[in-house]
Amino acid sequence: MSLITSDRFSLIIGLGKTGFACAQYLAQQGQRFQVADSRQEPPYLTQLQQQYPHIKIHLGEFETALCVAASEIILSPGVSRQEPVLRAAIAAGVSIRSDIDLFARVARKAGVPIVAITGSNAKSTVTSLVGQMAVEANVNVAVGGNLGDPAVSLLDDAVELYVMELSSFQLESTTALGADVACVLNVSPDHMDRYPNLMAYHQAKHRVFQACKSAVVNADDALTNPLVADTVKQTRFGLNDPDVGQFGLRQHQGEAWLSQGLKTLLPVAEMAMVGRHNVANALAALALGQAVDLPMASMLATLRQFTGLRHRCESVAKRGQVSYVNDSKGTNVGATVAALDGLTGTIDGKIILIAGGVGKGADFSDLVAPLVEYAREVILMGQDAGVIAETLGQQVPNFIVDDMAQAVALAKAHAIAGDLVLLSPACASFDAYSGFEARGDDFTQLVQAL
């Protein structure tokens, strides 16, 4: 029996932080909705029951009949579109949307500019940096999405600029973003346990460019080049001499400067962030900020003050002329390679890398060349330690330990003056920790106790 119009409802799938924020938003709009989660005790179950006791909640295995009956499905990023019940819903003509679609529709209607940032690595750093540049310019900015607060919870009439970090999982079900400026910072293999190949992951990332007004492109990464109309302005950033109007590095007065075209902007030495990878992040942020008319003076002032985010190449301590750096957010191979490349020029010695965890189906072979060049040794732990050790073989000295305490102790014993001990796991943390933050905190506490 077909449902009559009054029986139609939106179905929120996933009752984590994003799903709960969507429930609050739909309730505020007076829209009929139900909620489903495959877990018996999802994180926000109690809050939903207390705030909206009349809402139907479906727990356990997803039901095809429920999904097909919905007028639309609002899908949390943690749930794959390849779930059989969702494929059935798509076949039945049910639209599947993300929280980003809900957010963008309201933001665009209000005429508030959106900066949309994605990439395999550094998106949290660049998103936070652009947000801080807006604060420095006295712009009422809201920063969130995949970072911090869910997008729909940021909607507010007083906001003058939205700066959004977006994951590939969010973008999969986003169909109408229309950002004022969009950027894929970089693309390297990640989440290969969810995507069949790199092309599928790449295509998900590039959905950030849907109907964008302008695009920011990494000149050093061809996989970031967007397929957009000729009318969409493109600004490039990279670590070489920039063309006219583009952002890059120039040698001036014997040192490297952040530059736009021929115009030098700021000596790299005056940046608060360190590492070559963070120079690229700063250039990306300048290009994004300029696209939404942030004053250059405010952006450069921010670069002199912004030291970076926790767990992202964060300097922890120096013990016995050995530096210790926490890059626990390095949850994929590309991030760890960027950290190795970015930090090696800041030390006199070699890097001792602590890595391992849940590899997410990754190919670790891209680690070999930089480790051969920069590393004294690699200390491995976690679920996929053996996989990484097999990839490295005899090319780089490597040791497998049971936990972080053993890893830090072994690194201390083997490091010599001028070395840097780097936690950059190239893996997720869920085999041993609640998240990368807990892993980084464990490393930090152990180092500080040395």
Asked if 88 and 69 touch (Cβ cutoff 8 Å), the reply is no
- Told to judge if 252 belongs to the known catalytic residues of this protein, a careful annotator would answer no
Classify the phi-psi angles of 358: left when phi > 0, otherwise alpha if psi is within -120 to 50, otherwise beta: beta
CB-CB contact of 183 with 288 (8 Å):
yes
Compute the half-sphere exposure of residue 373: CA atoms within 13 Å on the CB side of its CA. 11
The number of residues making up the chain comes to 450
311 is catalytic: no
Radius of gyration of the chain (CA): 23
Q: What separation in angstroms does the CA of 226 have from each of 186, 214, 283?
A: 12, 10, 18
Residue 251, classified by CB atoms within 10 Å of its CB into exposed (0-12), middle (13-18) or buried (19+), is exposed
Catalytic residue among 121, 186, 191, 332: 191
DSSP state of 400: E
Of the residues 146, 186, 278, 332, only one is catalytic, namely: 146
Burial letters 303-338, b for 16+ CB under 10 A, else e: beebebbebbbbebeeeeebbbbbbbbbbbbbbbbb
DSSP character for 358?
B
C-alpha span between 264 and 248 (Å, rounded): 9
Give the DSSP letter string of 338-356. HHHHHHGGG-SS-EEEEE-
Active site residue 146: yes
Decide if 330 contacts 351 (C-beta within 8 A): no
Q: What is the dihedral of CA 327, 328, 332, 337, to 10 degrees?
A: 20
Write down the catalytic residue from 121, 123, 205, 360: 123
Angstrom CA distances, 101 to 88, 105, 114, 201, 234, stand at 21, 6, 13, 19, 24
Q: With contact defined as beta carbons under 8 Å apart, do 341 and 370 qualify?
A: yes
Q: Catalytic positions, please?
A: 123, 146, 191
